[in-house]
């Protein structure tokens, strides 16, 4: 309840006795929160009002006398932004019980009139501006001498959000079950690694936590300077927030993929949007540091806070730093011996890349309701660094690169061809082309309405949803002429030599890494193969750090229909120095093979990435606890490396917990066990999802998660 504040505080009692005026004003937040699917907002519990457009909300007003529609007039003045104006749709006047009562307009009508007060339904149109609205109640009543008016300023704004449950809203999604996941769920499962060795990160979005919605609206105002009618369009809102994640000078995150200062936060050390937001609100500038998945998770948090359905997407093998002819170039030399020339390659194929999809309607395009790809991580394009989207997935899939809408950028991230050139004494020539090497597997978390949780990350059956066909079609990849026509000469080697790998690679970090592959001859003739193989230590961006293994093989004889197996061993002392330098994400190895069949023009290339298994972080805690009771948690980790783990940090957070636990650890000696105990509190009943992560320079992102029932 609010104490009324008269427009003229010094008005004399005689005047106040004549006016029809507000005594009490009640937003009825609990009732409205239930109707508008906003019960999870922290501010709802603080008596603020969060409502979704296109759906009426209740207000209870008590006047100094019973409302009589034949005598009294009641209207509302609604203001948004610092400079509200009717032309910007930020200044609205609504008369009580005056139609039309339609979806496209503001209206207000009486629901109940009694001695205790007047209950009203106030309807925000399904296309109104989202954000904070101030509300004033204007009352008029005739007296013996004149018509007296009174203006009541409630002095507590209400928040209007997008409404994906409303058919008239641009963000409408006709599936209540999917909305539980894409709007109401406070957890994300972000898939990382490789297609063959799928791993994941657990992320707490916290879109309903205290201050998250306020910061989202603050960033939106920063993006556009002035609250105006564009705030009603989710496409414009997404574009503005996209710039404010990591691109704008006032953006939230500072991006850094490689070695960071130990005093700064490494990208892998974040597992919660709330923690990043709290750091940003300290006013110290951009938060250091983030990367593609932190950006995608942040933008997902902002969109879900405003009511826009959103999901995080991972593409395995993603092209970056594209050039004008959309080819990924690789170079070899045959002078003296067959060798790669990596210094000539200026593009990179990332092991994986993460962005997000937002669900909306594009009235300006014939795409209808659907998912739209949004890239919040600044990428190097021909004209400089940029972010892009929202772009309809249907446009990307069809390859409509002439339509604008950033289709060209997304399309060539996912459909680039690879060309291998070789230098001989006669000059440069094309060695081989690979028709489609990127975007071969694109996935998101299966929409189950709950996060993936397990006490052993390696025992889980990954709950991913393969959405590759939403982004790509076989005809698009095959028919897109990304190479000049006279250069598209695929090698005939596919029918004469195959490189095959065992199904599972399960070596653990700290152990000898054993890579095996078979060269298979499916032909009816005996062949002799010359090839060079190289194993590079890489990070997830494809950047090569150190050659771990290099060897040439001459005249390997392979009988008809048979295979020859090759085994490569990489000892810890060879790859641990790479770990000690610090990587932006988990250590990986890339095997590169170039070869040809002697006596003919058959050539072959092969590239494959291997990621060792990370150590398991064990969490011990009760399965059940009471609300506000102290919850004992114990973490245990064994250092599997022959060197200490340095600059260690532990972070515990998740939905249902009162706060984030963060602290530093002493260095963990080589091959040693460490145990850490703490006590946490839970803030609400239900299922809490606890995520614990230990970071160090040598081992990034050692984590695990579990669930706790709070009664």
In a domain, 1, yes or no: no
Residue 300 and residue 208 share a domain:
yes
CB environment 207-243: b (16+ within 10 A), e (fewer): bbbeebbebbbebbbbbeeebbebbbbbbbbbbbbbb
Residue 447 and residue 379 share a domain:
yes
Residue ending a domain, among 566, 584, 610, is 610
Q: What is the pLDDT of residues 116-175, one digit of tens each?
A: 889 999 999 999 999 999 999 998 876 555 556 788 889 899 999 999 999 999 999 999
Cβ pair 59, 28 in contact under 8 A: yes
Q: What percentage of the chain carries pLDDT values higher than 90?
A: 39
Residue 388 and residue 354 share a domain:
yes
Residue 222 and residue 150 share a domain:
no
Residue 83 phi, psi dihedral angles, 5° rounding? -130, 70
- Return d(Cα 612, Cα 616) in angstroms, integer: 12
pLDDT level of residue 449 (50, 70, 90 thresholds): very low
In a domain, 278, yes or no: yes
402 burial class (0-12, 13-18, 19+ CB within 10 angstroms)?
exposed
Cβ pair 552, 531 in contact under 8 A: yes
Residues facing residue 532 across a β-bridge: 552, 594
In a domain, 477, yes or no: no
Residue ending a domain, among 579, 610, 641, is 610
In a domain, 85, yes or no: yes
Helical H segments across 386-460, by residue range: 393-398, 407-414
pLDDT at 357 over 60: yes
Residues 349-356, mean pLDDT to the nearest whole number: 90
Cβ pair 49, 122 in contact under 8 A: no
Q: What is the pLDDT of residues 252-285, one digit of tens each?
A: 998 876 655 656 777 887 888 998 999 999 988 8
Residues facing residue 75 across a β-bridge: 95, 138
Indicate the number of domains in the chain.
4
Residue 573 and residue 700 share a domain:
no
Residue 71 and residue 23 share a domain:
yes
Average confidence score pLDDT of the chain: 83
The separation between the first and the last C-alpha atoms of the chain, rounded to the nearest angstrom, is 31
HEC assignment per residue over 476-523 = HHHHCCCCCHHHCCCCHHHHCCEEECCCCCCCECCCCEEEEEEEECCC
400 sits in which H/E element:
none
Task: Verify cis geometry, omega within 30 degrees of 0, for the bond prior to 402.
Answer: no
Tokens at 25, concatenated: 């004003």
Strand 417-424 to 427-434 pairing: antiparallel
Residue 203 and residue 258 share a domain:
yes
pLDDT level of residue 587 (50, 70, 90 thresholds): confident
Residue 584 and residue 454 share a domain:
no
Neighbours of 359 (CB within 10 A): 24
Q: What is the per-residue pLDDT for 601?
A: 72
Identify the CA nearest to 154 among candidates 294, 23, 305, 311: 23
pLDDT at 15 over 70: no
In a domain, 588, yes or no: yes
Residue 196 and residue 154 share a domain:
no
HEC assignment per residue over 249-270 = CCCCEEECCCCCCCCCCCHHHC
pLDDT at 450 over 70: no
Residues 541-570, mean pLDDT to the nearest whole number: 89
Residue 196 and residue 152 share a domain:
no
Q: What is the per-residue pLDDT for 704?
A: 86
- Return d(Cα 581, Cα 313) in angstroms, integer: 29
Residue 626 and residue 602 share a domain:
no
Those residues whose C-beta lies under 8 Å from the C-beta of residue 177, and which sit 6 or more positions away, are 447, 449
Q: What is the per-residue pLDDT for 143?
A: 59
Q: Is 541 helix (H, G, I), strand (E, B) or coil?
A: coil
Residue matched to tokens 């809102």: 237
Identify the CA nearest to 420 among candidates 342, 476, 497: 342
Range of the domain at 599: 493-610
- Return d(Cα 657, Cα 679) in angstroms, integer: 11
- Return d(Cα 372, Cα 471) in angstroms, integer: 10
391 sits in which H/E element:
strand 384-392
pLDDT at 667 over 60: yes
Residues facing residue 500 across a β-bridge: 518
User: Number of H helices and number of E strands within the chain?
Assistant: 12, 39
Q: What is the per-residue pLDDT for 477?
A: 43
Cβ pair 529, 501 in contact under 8 A: no
Q: Is 57 helix (H, G, I), strand (E, B) or coil?
A: strand
Residues 287-312, mean pLDDT to the nearest whole number: 95
In a domain, 564, yes or no: yes
Q: What is the per-residue pLDDT for 322?
A: 56
Q: What is the per-residue pLDDT for 390?
A: 92
pLDDT level of residue 312 (50, 70, 90 thresholds): very high
Strands, E, within 493-629: which ranges?
Answer: 498-500, 513-520, 527-538, 544-558, 563-570, 588-597, 603-610, 618-620, 624-625
Q: What is the per-residue pLDDT for 8?
A: 43
CA distances from 121 to 23, 68, 79, 97, 187 (A): 19, 17, 18, 10, 34
Q: Considering only residues 579 and 380, tell me which one the structure prediction assigns the higher pLDDT.
A: 579
Residue 266 and residue 339 share a domain:
yes
Residues facing residue 150 across a β-bridge: 139
In a domain, 177, yes or no: no
- Return d(Cα 679, Cα 465) in angstroms, integer: 36
Global model pTM greater than 0.85: yes
Identify the CA nearest to 423 among candidates 538, 340, 522: 340
Those residues whose C-beta lies under 8 Å from the C-beta of residue 385, and which sit 6 or more positions away, are 247, 378, 379
CB environment 477-511: b (16+ within 10 A), e (fewer): beebebbeeeeeeebebeebbebeeeeebebebbe
Task: Verify cis geometry, omega within 30 degrees of 0, for the bond prior to 100.
Answer: yes
Residue ending a domain, among 554, 585, 610, is 610
In a domain, 465, yes or no: yes
CATH of the domain at 641: 2.60.40.10
Q: Considering only residues 394 and 228, tell me which one the structure prediction assigns the higher pLDDT.
A: 394
Q: Considering only residues 182 and 546, tell me which one the structure prediction assigns the higher pLDDT.
A: 182
């Amino acid at each position: 309840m609010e104490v009324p504040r008269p427009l003229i505080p010094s008005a004399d009692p005689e005047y106040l006795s004549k006016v029809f005026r507000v005594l009490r004003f009640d937003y009825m937040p609990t009732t409205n929160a239930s109707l508008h699917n906003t019960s999870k907002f922290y501010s709802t519990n603080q008596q603020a009002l969060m409502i979704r457009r296109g759906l009426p909300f209740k207000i209870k007003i008590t006047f100094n006398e019973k409302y009589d529609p034949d005598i009294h007039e009641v209207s509302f003045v609604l203001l948004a932004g610092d400079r509200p104006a009717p032309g910007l749709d930020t200044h609205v006047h609504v008369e009580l019980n005056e139609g039309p009562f339609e979806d496209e307009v503001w209206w207000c009508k009486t629901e109940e009139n009694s001695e205790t007060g007047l209950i009203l339904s106030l309807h925000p149109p399904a296309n109104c501006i989202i954000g904070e609205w101030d509300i004033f109640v204007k009352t008029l009543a005739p007296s013996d001498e004149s018509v007296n008016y009174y203006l009541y300023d409630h002095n507590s704004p209400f928040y209007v959000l997008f409404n994906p449950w409303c058919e008239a809203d641009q963000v409408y999604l006709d599936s209540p079950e999917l909305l539980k996941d894409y709007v109401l769920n406070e957890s994300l499962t972000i898939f990382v690694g490789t297609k063959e060795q799928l791993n994941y990160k657990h992320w707490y979005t916290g879109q309903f936590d205290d201050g998250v919605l306020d910061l989202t609206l603050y960033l939106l105002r920063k993006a556009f300077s002035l609250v105006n009618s564009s705030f009603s369009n989710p496409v414009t809102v997404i574009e503005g927030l996209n710039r404010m994640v990591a691109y704008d000078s006032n953006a939230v995150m500072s991006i850094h993929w490689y070695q960071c200062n130990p005093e700064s936060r490494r990208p892998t050390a974040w597992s919660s949007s709330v923690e990043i937001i709290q750091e940003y609100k300290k006013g110290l500038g951009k938060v250091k540091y983030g990367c593609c998945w932190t950006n995608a998770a942040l933008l997902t948090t902002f969109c879900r806070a405003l009511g826009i359905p959103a999901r995080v997407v991972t593409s395995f093998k993603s092209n970056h730093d594209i050039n004008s002819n959309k080819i990924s170039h690789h170079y070899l030399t045959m002078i003296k011996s067959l060798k790669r020339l990596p210094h000539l390659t200026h593009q990179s194929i990332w092991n994986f890349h993460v962005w997000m999809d937002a669900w909306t309607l594009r009235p300006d395009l014939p795409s209808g309701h659907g998912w739209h790809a949004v890239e919040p991580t600044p990428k190097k394009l021909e004209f400089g660094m940029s972010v892009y989207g929202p772009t309809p997935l249907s446009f990307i899939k069809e390859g409509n690169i002439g339509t604008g809408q950033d289709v060209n950028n997304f399309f060539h991230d996912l459909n680039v061809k690879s060309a291998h050139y070789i230098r001989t004494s006669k000059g440069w020539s094309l060695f081989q082309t690979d028709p489609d090497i990127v975007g071969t597997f694109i996935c998101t978390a299966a929409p189950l309405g709950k996060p993936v949780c397990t006490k052993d990350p390696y025992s889980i059956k990954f709950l991913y949803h393969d959405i590759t066909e939403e982004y790509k079609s076989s005809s698009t990849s095959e028919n897109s002429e990304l190479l000049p026509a006279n250069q598209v000469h695929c090698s005939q080697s596919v029918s004469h030599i195959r490189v095959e790998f065992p199904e599972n690679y399960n070596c653990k970090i700290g152990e000898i890494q054993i890579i095996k592959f078979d060269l298979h001859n499916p032909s009816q003739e005996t062949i002799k193969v010359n090839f060079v193989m190289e194993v590079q230590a890489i990070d997830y961006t494809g950047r090569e750090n150190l050659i771990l293994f290099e060897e040439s093989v001459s005249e390997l004889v392979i009988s008809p229909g048979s295979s020859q197996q090759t085994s490569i061993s990489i000892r810890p002392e060879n790859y641990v120095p790479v770990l000690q330098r610090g990587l932006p994400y988990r250590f990986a190895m890339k095997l590169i093979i170039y070869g040809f069949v002697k006596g003919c023009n058959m050539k072959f290339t092969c590239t494959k990435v291997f990621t060792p298994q990370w150590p398991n972080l064990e969490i011990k805690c009760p399965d059940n606890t009471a609300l506000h009771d102290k919850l004992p948690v114990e973490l245990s980790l064994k250092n599997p490396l022959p060197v200490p783990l340095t600059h260690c940090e532990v972070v515990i957070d998740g939905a249902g917990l009162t706060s984030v636990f963060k602290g530093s650890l002493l260095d963990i000696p080589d091959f040693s066990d460490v145990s850490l105990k703490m006590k946490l509190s839970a803030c609400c009943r239900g299922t809490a999802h606890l995520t614990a992560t230990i970071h160090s320079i040598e081992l990034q992102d050692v984590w695990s998660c579990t669930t706790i029932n709070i009664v």
